Structure 1
Amino acid sequence: MEKRLEELGVSLPPNQPPLATYVSCVRSGCLVFTSGAGCFVDGKPLYTGRLGRDLTVEQGYEAAQITVLNLLSMIKAEIGNLDKIERIVKVLGLVSSADDFYDQPQVMNGASDLLVNVFGDKGKHARSALGTSVLPMNLPVEIEMVVEIREEER
């Protein structure tokens, strides 16, 4: 999968430690649950603010893509190799939104499109895209994922 990322012209960022008292990932059986992640680049948010007030849908889309790369980095640190992923099961996206912003799904398409481009059919997932009034550190998006890893890889 990392070769596929290279073909797409993107690479995984270094895995960052959690920002508080929690772990980045938890394994239960053949599932890996991630904590929420944001659009950090070199330890700083790429964007801050609310969609529909401070940021455009296109900026939110990019923030969602960067966030997914951070999530994949977290998962890789947990399982050692992204090729062990059997499928992306669920994506939960929180989008910091102005009161009259209703395009949360279009923002979250940044995450979903990247996952399908990298993993093909294994990247097709269930998804929720929710609007919220505020996120930690004024991030525009926070995303969680659930992935299935091959049984023998646990």
Structure 2
Amino acid sequence: MSFTDRLSAMGITLPDAPAPAANYVPFVRSGDLLFVSGQISAGPDGMMVGTLGADASLEQGVAAARACAISLLAQVKAACGGDLERLDQVVKLTGFVNSTADFHDQPKVINGASDLLAEALGDAGKHSRSAVSAASLPFGVMVEIEGIFRLK
């Protein structure tokens, strides 16, 4: 089953790749590696804002991380000329969680992205990862995730 078919079975249709919000490019390819700029937590209803440990729940953070993963895949698809099947491996994710100093479940939040990628991509979705706290993120979003991908 193709990656697109798996996503469809999960009820996910990739949106158009989000445009950069400042002076940077959404991705850079170097050889067979694709470096995707940080994708913020936004969905069809807008930005997913809040601070974990204050006014946002763990469940909301997990949903925000899933939204970031969907945006990451949309960027990969755009970088591959619309052919997501050119993705070979998710290599590394770095996840930033807008959270209070006493919130310690950043890995559980970023699991929202990791779980989605593993389910949608199988072994190609398994990756190395960092999950860190941030005192603030752009636009007050809950999560931002950047990724490194290997292409065929």
Do Structure 1 and Structure 2 share a fold, with TM-score over 0.5? yes
Normalising to structure 2: TM-score of the pair? 0.95
Letter in 1 for 2:72: L
1: CA distance between counterparts of 2:97 and 2:89?
24
Unaligned runs of 5+ in 2: none
How many residue pairs get matched?
Answer: 149
- How far does the alpha carbon of each residue in 1:54-80 deviate from its partner, in whole angstroms, 9 at most, with x for none? 111110000000111011111111112
- How far does the alpha carbon of each residue in 1:3-57 deviate from its partner, in whole angstroms, 9 at most, with x for none? 1100111111122211111100000010000000111224820x21110111111
3-state SS of 2:13 partner: coil
Normalising to structure 1: TM-score of the pair? 0.93
- Tell me the equivalent position of 1:13: 15
2: CA distance between counterparts of 1:112 and 1:16?
20
Select the residue among 102, 110, 113 that pairs with 2:112.
110
3-state SS of 2:35 partner: strand
- Tell me the equivalent position of 1:49: 50
- How far does the alpha carbon of each residue in 1:107-151 deviate from its partner, in whole angstroms, 9 at most, with x for none? 00000000000110111100000001000100110000100001x
Select the residue among 24, 35, 39 that pairs with 1:33.
35
3-state SS of 2:120 partner: helix
- Tell me the equivalent position of 1:143: 145
Letter in 1 for 2:123: D
CA 1:104/1:126 → structure 2, altered by over 3 Å: closer, same or farther?
same
1: CA distance between counterparts of 2:18 and 2:130?
25
Select the residue among 111, 133, 137 that pairs with 1:131.
133
> Do residues 70 (structure 1) and 68 (structure 2) align?
no
For the aligned residues, what is the CA RMSD? 1.1
> Do residues 88 (structure 1) and 119 (structure 2) align?
no
1: CA distance between counterparts of 2:148 and 2:69?
12
Q: Is the 8 A contact 2:106 2:132 kept in 1?
A: yes
Runs of 4+ in 1 over 4 A off after TM superposition: none
- Tell me the equivalent position of 2:26: 24
3-state SS of 1:50 partner: coil
2: CA distance between counterparts of 1:3 and 1:14?
17
Unaligned runs of 5+ in 1: none
